[in-house]
Copies of this chain bind each other. A is one copy, B any other.
Amino acid sequence: MNSPAPLSLDELLAHVRSGGRRVTVAKRTVARVLLATTGHARADDVISEVRALAPDVSASTVYRILDEFEDLGLVVHAHLGSGAAVYHLAGPVHGHLVCNVCHATTEVPSAVFDALAQELQREYGFTLDRHHVALSGVCAACAKSPMA
């Protein structure tokens, strides 16, 4: 169910091919950008960076590719509150803490949600998708300073 995280560009593209899809300049570039990105990137960020490397790739193509990569289990996306979704390679599963004040996001290991996941399973029959956990609140820094 969980695809192992491909670590290299070649592994990534191999997954694309074995998924019956073709490898193109646009896909190679999106893959490269995602590999070079630490943390999350909004589609817009990916688009800009892709264009820096391959100016002719269109925005819609990037959306389509992100979608395809997600179907293949190579990429996950999450909605962190309002605004655009963020994407990143499917690496170690983790959740997100989003600050209401400064909008910073912190990644936390999924182990933190183990107990909760068990309880939800037991009490509600609900299987938590740890890839997509996004919790809002106030981060440590903003809790200290009274101003925004």
Contacts and interface: CB of A to CB of B under 8 A. Distances in A.
B138 A126 contact: yes
A135 B133 contact: yes
A108 to B, nearest CB: 7
Question: Which secondary structure dominates chain A's binding surface?
Answer: mixed
Nearest to A139: B126
Interface residues of A, number: 32
A127 interface: yes
Contact of A120 (B79, B100, B108): B108
Contacts of A133: 135-136
- With most chain B CB atoms within 10 A of its CB, the pick from A108, A123, A127, A135 is A135
Contacts of A128: 135-137
